[in-house]
Amino acid sequence: MRRNGLKRAGLAALLMLGSWATAGTLPASATDSPTPAAAPSTSAGLIEAMQRDLGLSPSRAKARLAAEHTATTLEPKARRAAGSAYGGSWFDAGSGRLTVAVTRDASPATLRAVRSTGAAVRTVEHSAKQLAAAKNRMDGLTAPSGVSSWHVDPAAGSVVVNVVGERRSDNDVQTFLSRARDAGPVTVRTVASAPQTFAAGTVGGDPYYTGNVRCSIGFSVYGGFVTAGHCGQPGAGVSGWDRSYVGTFQGSSFPDNDYAWVSVGSGWWTVPVVLGWGTVPDQLVRGSAAAPIGSSICRSGSTTHWHCGTVLAKNETVNYSQGAVHQMTKTSVCAEPGDSGGSFISGDQAQGVTSGGWGNCSSGGETWFQPVNEILSRYGLTLHTT
């Protein structure tokens, strides 16, 4: 986080309320199952960003945020109600409701229990457990570069395999698809290009550097911050936007995962804030409840600053040139080199750190993030919240 960012009028006003780490804080630990305690922020800047990136009017943007807040809260209840018949869930922007898939053998009592939570119900052939098992079998395959990624899509009731359009007819791609179909139900979709990570060479005036690589801070944790694993190895030193020493990578994993955490010291400190870059006010972080598929989500990064989109898929395996990365969440938010490690946030709930994607913020594209709760759990960290 930029030190001069703390001089912003909005953040200065927040700091006058008291210490971030004392009275009134309820940090979300790695073992918590955090849920939002209040309706998400509807600041003018956030609504403007949703207008720009999602094409929503101000009233529709506010209504969607409220509906997504409700869906995020009831999703765990609906999943428990569905039990073994659970086939996945997603937020339906058209109806403004959470949709829960259940298998055809679900009992009338199970259907009533799911509907009683307020969720809509869709009948599907395969349970979430069966689809996850099929994806796990596909994870054991070696994917060629023409295969971009694959994930379970509960709405499609299958594992979606994303293939680079110009490579779809390649023999190695067809061989992978044949083996994938042997593993379970598959839907093939075409994407414009292969994924890449979003680290960048040195450019002055940006959040942090590791050697000649520039990346972005994700979220503050007590003692440091989380970011992308491809940005640095354990033991690597980190410099801030002004090239002063910040701290050291304490843990890092890439590929297989794409997460890391950096300890901070030497006069640097952590606050539960995501930079709005003047597009929106700096956003407070109040928890880390995972938003459902279909929810709106925004990203903050040091290159392209603040952009919004929707959650497209969860638990996707991404086939980077450096190796596959698992359990990623895919979004329609754009990003560019230097945005790696930056914050994905939905309302006031931390979602994850930017990993990579394809496209850019001029022509559009897609990005993936590593879910923040997995990072907290892996390293035993506690998210810094208000």
Residues labelled catalytic: 230, 258, 340
Distance CA 11, CA 43 (A): 14
Do residues 208 and 238 touch, judged by C-beta distance below 8 A? Answer: yes
Do residues 186 and 180 touch, judged by C-beta distance below 8 A? Answer: yes
| Lookup result for tokens 């794409």 | 258
DSSP string, 31-82: T-----SSPPP--HHHHHHHHHHH---HHHHHHHHHHHHHHHHHHHHHHHHH
Do residues 307 and 274 touch, judged by C-beta distance below 8 A? Answer: no
Closest CA to 349 of 306, 292, 309, 305: 292
Distance CA 190, CA 181 (A): 16
Determine how many CB atoms are found less than 10 A away from the CB of residue 231.
29
DSSP state of 173: H
